[in-house]
Amino acid sequence: MTEQKIMVKPFEALADARFQKPWEKIMIGLECHVQLNTDSKLFCSCPAGKETEEPNTACCEVCLGMPGSKPALNKKALDYALKVALALNCNINEKFFFSRKTYFYPDMSKNFQITQYEIPVGENGFIELQGGKKIRIRRIHLEEDPAALIHESGLLSSNYCLVDYNRSGIPLIEVVTEPDMASPQEAREFLDQLTMFLSYLDVFDFENGTLKADCNLSVVGNERAEIKNVTGKKSVEKALEFEAKRQLELVKQGKQIVRETRGFDEKTLSTKSLRKKESEEDYGYITDTDLAAVVLSKKEIDAIRKSLPELHSDKAKRLAKEFGLSDYDAKVIAGSRFLSELFEEFAKSSSAKTANFFVSGIFVSIAHHDNKEPEELSSMLDVSQLKELLSLFEKGKINEKALKEAAIAHITKSKNPLDFIRENGLFKEASSGEIEKIVERALAANPKAVADLKTGNEKSLNFLVGLAMRESKGKAEPREIKRIIEEKIK
């Protein structure tokens, strides 16, 4: 007679005995490569950001790595890197130098990349997420972008690939985080915060610049995989979502996760193995003796610190205080330099309330609906036309719906919003006198609710609005009624 066997997979046995669902904890670290919007490249005078031009026309002996050529550091790129490092709460190294990272590939004609290894520009910073969680930044360093490899589709597509050196030598900063993010959503939020800093510091071209990330993800207690070169915030989130699912599934099945480098496929939104992971030491870094070490004085660092503009967290606090916005709305508006400038401009001719309603309510949702960052719509706006539109709304001549429709027509079809209102007959009937009377009656009949409202009770406001709405048989808008009530009890 055989003895009974307990059939449990080894991993499950371990999990039951020692951990509680160990596979539920994920660690994500990012290495973000941000293209700086300087005029020239990092170590030569070739124009930067000319990737759209005729290939191989924006390059010279330095960015092509010809023998005997001598690189020289772009001061502006250094200043930009210092700005970002300071804004992200990093300690600045007063002395650092550049190293050569051995790298044999057609997109790097020198067979090495000039980067920083031993001592970066800045270290030990952090970015705070909305909920207050701090994501630590291990380091920020400067390095040059490799050339672009172009895989032509069609004829002979599998047999060759073209190289465009226009991109070779464009300045990048690499922002390396600790593995502090616990979900793809947190990684996305980190990138949103990072791009806010870039927008306020004006070091990144939102229309033409690229932001790429190498994304490291592991399930706690297991090896990590690195997804190389993912372009854009949305793709980073998608790549991490796929990778988290894949690794969690492996762990659940008791399989081992191998340390490796993976690639992200934009079409299938999946990752696949590229190569078994090499370690950073394998690159054989050596000091670049063609470039002088950078030595900064405390005075120089202080001068850059002082030159930093008001950043989004300070701006949010100021907007909340100065314009009486809610913390949430202030954060949405301060979330981009462009939005906050737009808000402050509208608030000059309209009330802060109307400006806020338009910017954080209507404008942001139009941008999101089109899957765009607000700054990408900046060239579509005629601010003075929109100011007139807001003033019509504020005077009660058009309703919320008309305001929205006119704004959409303006932003998506360059339509003059006032013409749009006129052509579509969206001016309100002169019935606001009638609504005013309804409100007056509602207030007179409910002295207790009015008294409560004066002490700041929001519930009684809603109660009174509801009453007036019913009275008007739906003809009036809640917003309009609210406005009248607030005026009356002032």
Closest distance of CB 69 from Zn ion, Å: 9
Taking residue 37's Cβ as centre, other Cβ atoms within 10 Å add up to 21
Q: Indicate which single residue of 144, 145, 164, 174 sits in contact with Mn ion (rule: CB under 5 A).
A: 174
* Nearest to Mn ion of 34, 390 (CB atom): 34
- Contact of residue 27 among Mn ion, Zn ion, none (CB under 5-8 Å per partner type): none
User: What stretches of 361-473 show up as alpha helix (H) in DSSP?
Assistant: 364-369, 383-394, 400-413, 417-423, 432-445, 447-454, 458-471
Closest CB to Zn ion among residues 60, 182: 60
User: Which of these ranges, 173-181, 256-264, 277-285, 390-398, lies near Mn ion under the rule CB under 5 A?
Assistant: 173-181
Long-range contacts made by residues 149-154, C-beta under 8 angstroms, separation at least 24?
A: 149/106, 149/107, 150/55
Q: Are 403 and 387 within 8 A, CB to CB?
A: no
Q: For Mn ion, give the closer residue by CB, 173 or 435.
A: 173
The contact pattern for Mn ion, residues 306-345, with x = CB under 5 A and - = no contact, is: ----------------------------------------
Query: Considering the complex, what minimum distance in angstroms separates the CB of residue 169 from Zn ion?
Result: 6
In this structure, are strands 286-287 and 91-92 parallel, antiparallel, or unpaired? unpaired
174 contact, one of Zn ion, Mn ion, none, CB 5-8 Å limit per kind: Mn ion
Considering only 15, 26, 30, 63, the residue that binds Zn ion (CB under 5 A) is: 63
The kind and range of the H/E element at 76 are helix 75-87
Q: For residues 21 and 456, give the distance between their C-alpha atoms in angstroms, rounded to a whole number.
A: 48
Does the footprint of Mn ion cover residue 145 (CB under 5 A)? no
Q: Give residues with Cβ within 8 angstroms of 4, minimum separation 6.
A: none
CB-based contact 181:30 (threshold 8 Å) = yes
Whether the CB-CB separation of 207 and 379 falls below 8 Å is answered with no
d(CA 34, CA 203): 9
Residue pair 141/174 in contact (Cβ under 8 Å)? The answer is yes
**Binding track over 33-62 against Zn ion, x by CB under 5 A:** -----------x-x-------------x-x
CB of 311 to Mn ion, least distance (A): 25
Comparing CB distances to Mn ion, the nearer of 120 and 374 is: 120
Pick one of Zn ion, Mn ion, none as the site partner of residue 63 (Cβ within 5 to 8 A by kind): Zn ion
CB of 229 to Mn ion, least distance (A): 10
Site residue total, Mn ion (CB under 5 A) = 1
Q: Is 297 exposed, middle or buried (0-12, 13-18, 19+ CB in 10 A)?
A: exposed
Q: Residue 46 touches which of Mn ion, Zn ion, none (CB < 5 to 8 A by kind)?
A: Zn ion
Helix H segments across 88-215? 184-201
Report the residue number, 30 or 334, with the smaller CB distance to Mn ion. 30
Size of the site for Zn ion (CB under 5 A): 5
Residue 140, binding choice from Mn ion, Zn ion, none, Cβ under 5 to 8 Å by partner class: none
User: Residue 453 touches which of Mn ion, Zn ion, none (CB < 5 to 8 A by kind)?
Assistant: none
d(CA 143, CA 369): 36
Could you list the residues that contact Zn ion (CB under 5 A)?
A: 44, 46, 60, 62-63
Residues near Mn ion (CB under 5 A): 174
